[in-house]
Amino acid sequence: MTADRQLENSQWITCIERIRDHSDEDAFAQLFTHFAPRVKAFLMKSGADATLAEECAQDVMATLWQKAHLFDPTRASASTWIFTIARNRRIDALRKSRRPEPEDLTWGPDHDPDQADALALQQETDQLAQAIASLPDKQKALIEAAYYGDLSHSEIAEKTGLPLGTIKSRIRLALDRLRHAMS
């Protein structure tokens, strides 16, 4: 993984923490500049027109501000967390449907996630991104189609060819630590 990418990932985590702790508008501006245009493009590929995508991308970034204290860097990178917010906004706005979710598990005021765990997760996320980038075009196109909402669940293949085992194990470990801290 590139050192630049690692630095960038930890920079986004710091920005989210600055919003959480200090309502830091400069940190928000940095995140907005990087992520809002990506979220807008994602929503347009998912079928939103430019006006709706613009509005929803603003909503996604506003939600990031309001939920900054719920972000856990040992279980998701900033881009993963922002993807989940964007996906939920898309389901509301485009499908006008409901997507019930399991309850958020959070560390609460007395505990903090471990820095080393967060770093390890960022590395796994980056390796996954590289693995996706090196997939054959046809396979990559299928995965993109699934995430842009173009495939029904019966059209999604059971075997994706994605190497998800390591990142799953990382998240599982983080969940075990969190459960231990909660009990």
Which residues ranging from 109 to 148 are in contact with another protein (CB under 8 A)?
124-125, 128-129, 132-133, 143-144, 146-147
Contacts of 32 (CB under 8 A, 6+ apart): 61
Residue 71 found at the interface with another protein (CB under 8 A) = no
We find the least distance from the C-beta atom of residue 112 to another protein, in angstroms, to be 15
Contact flag: residue 38 with another protein (CB under 8 A): yes
Q: What is the nearest approach in angstroms of another protein to the Cβ of residue 115?
A: 19
Q: Is 93 in the site for another protein (CB under 8 A)?
A: no
Select from 13, 90, 117, 118 the one that contacts another protein (CB under 8 A). 90
Closest distance of CB 58 from another protein, Å:
4
* Burial degree of 73 (CB within 10 A; 0-12, 13-18, 19+): buried
As measured in angstroms, the least distance from the Cβ of 164 to another protein is 4
Q: Is residue 95 within the footprint of another protein (CB under 8 A)? A: yes
Our finding on whether 54 is near another protein (CB under 8 A) is yes
Q: Is the dihedral of CA 30, 43, 9, 22 positive or negative?
A: positive
Considering beta carbons, is residue 119 or 146 the nearer one to another protein?
Answer: 146
From the list 1, 52, 91, 93, which residue makes contact with another protein (rule: CB under 8 A)? 91
Give ∠ CA 42-43-47 in degrees, rounded to 5: 120
Among 15, 83, 113, 117, binds another protein (CB under 8 A): 83
User: Which of 37, 111, 112, 141 lies at the binding interface for another protein (CB under 8 A)?
Assistant: 37
Question: b/e for 142-168, b at 16 or more Cβ within 10 A?
Answer: bbeebeeeeeeeeeeeeeeeeeeeebe
Shortest reach from residue 177's CB to another protein, in Å: 11
Contact (CB, 8 A) for 170 and 73: no
Extract the tokens encoding 126. Answer: 């980056």
d(CA 85, CA 48): 16
Q: Strand, coil or helix: what is 60? A: helix
